[in-house]
């Protein structure tokens, strides 16, 4: 199978030309982040990703993590690769210097994470969860806990986990029953079972810091009675040294469809005296604390969709050029040609490529908004950017992970029968990608979040801002007397009209007809994602047109950006235009079906 090649030029183009990344240079917090530094960081990340981390992706899938004599062992090469990752300081790239980070933009960190995730999705899950733990502790933990745990979590010397799910409590987190019994010294004894804990136990680091949702005695029912606790694998003294094993253990590892190298643990807390834990934030405010962790994690999971699509695309493209099969229709020669010569293979490759560019535009734009929302000097602008992040996060998570799985499937299809054979590696991408639409809040839940919480947040401020930006771009596209841009502008305008009408219809149903709004929430989110994808590709096309004009260049890179935008617009935006019919159909048929009479 071909090696992974980090798409450095694509990432730099998207950051510089599609997002508002240049605005970050005007912020005091990022005044040190020059273009040369950004390029150097991405180059070094690419070397580590395409080398030691990518090299153990396929072998890690075949070997998997195992549990022996109560100890969890990751596949051969993972410990060495993780040490290189930590030694390079990659775990703390986007965290502040005062907690041991490198103070780089979150958006740059997303690009670095894209490389590592494309190289080896199972490997990348460990630092993803650790970063989430850092976010939660930074925002909500006491100074004592921060001083004791953050530095080693930021460095990656210690790793973190998120413990929500229980056998009876999946998406319905309010059903959890894990108990937290207070002690006189202010600590708690934790008793309960948690499942689906990513890197819940492993041999990569000397300590694992679990963030565990549990109930204190007499807490209210549902999510209002949940608190968050820090529960280390090894209890730490005031000097940060490990002193004793906590009363917790991994009882088993799940056997999964994909991400085999990532140990997914069943964790038991308090088999004897109780696992000692420390309260993070306030009692009964655990969900608020955990959402700090989850919101960034949802963006990171969206990156998984992009990353797996990019890896699948690279392998499919390489195979399409190297595989000779059939002659070109209409050609006089009877010799077999590379399958890239066949129109349907070209369609599949371009479909993958256009969606990858669209996802990268959406994700990095969201990342830049995160940076601006956190560090901009103007409070009003900070509020706007944070509203945009809130709106775009469920779209990033849901739309990108769905595309990641679809692209992995398309990549397998390009391989034909060889794709169905594990030896090629194409099947692993399909298996690995399937989890992303499920965890960190299923994509159906993301759609409900978008429709019932984010659309009308602050009076729809973020939605109106995006719609106005798209309208401005359409005017710029219309001003170019070129067939490609006239087609793109027309399709983008019609799609925007459809989404505006869909938004109005959805908003009219939110309070008066919950089922109608909920039934079409997923379709609405998908349509919104396609519109935004078309928007970011159109921005890239416009920039590329200007570069060709200014530089009088005939660069195939820039010409392809224009054609990619046109292809995506012609193949995907009509679906947005037609989605209005389905969305306005509501839930009449859905709610009238007698599901009890389905089946045998």
29-76 tens-digit pLDDT: 999 999 999 999 999 999 999 999 999 999 999 999 999 998 999 999
Arithmetic mean of pLDDT, 542-569: 91
Asked if the model's pLDDT at residue 591 lies above 90, the reply is no
Q: Give tens-digit pLDDT for 65-104.
A: 999 998 999 999 999 999 999 999 999 999 999 999 999 9
CB 77 within 8 A of CB 56: yes
172: confidence class by pLDDT, cuts 50, 70, 90: confident
> What does the pLDDT read at residue 14?
98
With CA atoms as reference, report the closest residue to 213 among 288, 305, 318, 106.
288
Query: How many Å from the N-terminal Cα to the C-terminal Cα in the chain?
Result: 44
Task: Give the torsion sign (CA, 127, 358, 584, 458).
Answer: positive
Distance from chain centroid for Cα 308: 11
Query: Does the pLDDT of residue 585 top 70, yes or no?
Result: yes
pLDDT digits (tens, 9 = 90+) for 446-455: 999 999 999 9
- Give the 3-state DSSP-derived string for 138-156, with helices as H, strands as E and coil as C: HHHCCHHHHHHHHHHHHHC
- Count of domains for the chain: 1
Residue 550 phi/psi, 5° resolution? -70, -40
Mean pLDDT of 5-30: 95
What does the pLDDT average to over 329-349? 90
Rounded mean pLDDT, 450-463? 96
pLDDT for res 238: 87
Catalytically annotated residue among 35, 440, 512, 551: 440
Q: What is the mean pLDDT of the chain?
A: 95
Q: Of 311-320, 326-335, 388-397, which gets the smallest average pLDDT?
A: 326-335
pLDDT at 592 over 90: no
Sequence-separated (6 or more) residues with CB below 8 Å from residue 239: none
Q: What pLDDT, on the 0 to 100 scale, is given for residue 553?
A: 65
Q: Is residue 293 included in any domain, yes or no?
A: no
Closest CA to 436 of 312, 560, 284, 253: 312
Query: Model pTM?
Result: 0.97
Q: Examine the pLDDT at 435 and tell me if it is beyond 90.
A: yes
Is 488 contained in some domain? Answer: yes
Q: Can you tell me the mean pLDDT for 507-513? A: 91
**Cβ atoms of residues 310 and 363 within 8 Å:** no
Query: Is residue 365 packed enough to be buried (19+ CB in 10 Å), middle (13-18) or exposed (0-12)?
Result: buried
Is the pLDDT score of 332 beyond 80?
no
The H or E element spanning position 385 is: helix 379-414
Q: What is the pLDDT of residues 478-504, one digit of tens each?
A: 999 999 999 999 999 999 999 999 999
Asked whether residue 308 is assigned to any structural domain, the reply reads no
- 514 domain-assigned: yes
CA neighbor of 470 nearest in space, from 478, 482, 480: 478
Structure tokens at 44: 């070094």
Q: Which domain holds residue 512?
A: 444-590
* Number of alpha carbons in the 13 Å side-chain half-sphere of residue 232: 22
424 lies in some domain? no
Q: Is the pLDDT of residue 333 over 80?
A: no
pLDDT at 331 over 80: no
Q: State yes or no: is 440 an active-site residue.
A: yes
Distance, in Å, from the CA atom of 331 to the CA atom of 441, rounded to the nearest integer, reads 51
Instruction: Tell me if 568 is assigned to some domain.
Output: yes
Please say if the pLDDT value at position 160 is more than 80.
yes
pLDDT tier for residue 600 given thresholds of 50, 70 and 90: low
Residues contacting 209, CB < 8 A, separation 6+? 133, 149, 153, 158, 159, 160, 161, 230, 231, 232, 233
Return the pLDDT at 438. 96
Residue 161 pLDDT exceeds 90: yes
Contact between 393 and 132 under an 8 Å Cβ cutoff? The reply is no
Place of tokens 């089946």: 599
- DSSP class of residue 220? P
CA gap 30, 106 in Å, rounded: 11
Residue 116: the pLDDT is 98
Comparing CA positions, the residue from 431, 89, 441, 101 lying closest to residue 262 is 431
In a domain, 270, yes or no: no
Interatomic CA distance for residues 561 and 356, integer angstroms: 12
Distance CA 497, CA 502 (A): 9
pLDDT value at position 554? 67
With CA atoms as reference, report the closest residue to 411 among 442, 433, 437: 433
pLDDT for residue 1 is more than 80: no
């Amino acid at each position: 199978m071909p090696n992974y090649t980090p798409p450095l030029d694509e990432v730099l183009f998207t950051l510089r030309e599609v997002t508002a990344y240049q605005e970050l240079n005007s912020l005091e917090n990022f005044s040190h982040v020059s273009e040369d530094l950004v390029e150097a960081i991405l180059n070094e990340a690419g070397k580590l990703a395409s080398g030691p981390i990518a090299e153990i992706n396929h072998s890690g899938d075949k070997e998997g993590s195992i549990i022996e004599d109560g100890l969890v062992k990751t596949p051969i090469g993972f410990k060495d690769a993780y040490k290189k990752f930590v030694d390079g300081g990659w775990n703390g790239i986007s965290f502040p210097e005062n907690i041991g980070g490198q103070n780089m933009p979150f958006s740059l960190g997303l690009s670095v994470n894209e490389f590592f995730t494309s190289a080896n999705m199972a490997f990348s899950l460990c630092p993803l969860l650790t970063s989430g733990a850092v976010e939660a502790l930074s925002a909500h933990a006491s100074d004592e806990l921060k001083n004791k745990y953050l530095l080693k979590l930021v460095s990656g010397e210690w790793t973190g986990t998120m413990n929500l799910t229980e056998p009876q409590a999946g998406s319905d987190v309010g059903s959890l029953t894990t108990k937290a019994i207070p002690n006189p010294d202010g600590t708690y004894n934790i008793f309960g079972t948690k499942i689906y804990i990513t890197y819940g136990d492993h041999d990569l680091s000397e300590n694992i810091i679990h963030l565990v949702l549990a109930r204190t005695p007499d807490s209210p029912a549902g999510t209002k009675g949940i608190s968050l606790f820090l529960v280390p694998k090894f209890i730490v003294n005031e000097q940060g040294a490990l002193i004793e094993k906590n009363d917790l253990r991994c009882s088993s590892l799940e056997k999964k469809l994909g991400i085999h190298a990532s140990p997914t643990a069943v964790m038991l807390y308090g088999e004897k005296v109780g696992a000692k834990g420390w309260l993070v934030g306030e009692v009964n405010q655990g969900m608020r604390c955990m959402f700090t962790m989850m919101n960034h994690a949802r963006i990171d999971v969206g990156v998984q969709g992009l990353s797996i699509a990019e890896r699948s695309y690279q392998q499919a493209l390489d195979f399409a050029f190297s595989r000779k099969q059939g002659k070109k229709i209409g050609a006089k020669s009877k010799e077999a040609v590379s399958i890239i010569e066949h129109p349907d293979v070209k369609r599949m490759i371009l479909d993958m490529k256009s969606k990858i560019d669209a996802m990268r535009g959406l994700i990095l734009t969201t990342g830049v908004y995160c940076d601006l929302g956190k560090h901009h000097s103007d409070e009003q602008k900070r509020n706007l950017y944070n509203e945009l992040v809130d709106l775009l996060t469920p779209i990033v998570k849901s739309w990108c992970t769905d595309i990641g799985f679809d692209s992995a499937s398309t990549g397998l299809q390009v391989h034909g029968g060889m794709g169905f054979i594990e030896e090629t590696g194409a099947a692993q991408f399909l298996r690995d990608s399937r989890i992303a639409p499920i965890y960190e809040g299923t994509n159906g839940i993301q759609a409900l979040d978008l429709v019932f919480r984010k659309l009308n947040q602050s009076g729809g401020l973020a939605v109106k801002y995006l719609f106005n930006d798209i309208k401005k771009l359409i005017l710029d596209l219309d001003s170019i007397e070129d067939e490609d841009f006239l087609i793109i502008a027309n399709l983008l305008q019609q799609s925007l009209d459809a989404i505006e009408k869909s938004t109005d219809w959805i908003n009219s149903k939110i309070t008066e007809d919950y089922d109608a709004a909920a039934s079409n929430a997923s379709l609405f989110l998908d349509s919104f994602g396609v519109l935004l994808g078309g928007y970011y590709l159109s921005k890239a096309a416009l920039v590329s047109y200007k570069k060709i004009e200014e530089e009088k260049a005939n660069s195939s890179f820039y010409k392809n950006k224009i054609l990619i935008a046109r292809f995506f617009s012609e193949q995907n935006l009509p679906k947005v235009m037609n989605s209005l019919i389905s969305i306005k159909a509501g839930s009449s048929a859905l709610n009238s079906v007698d599901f009890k009479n389905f089946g045998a």
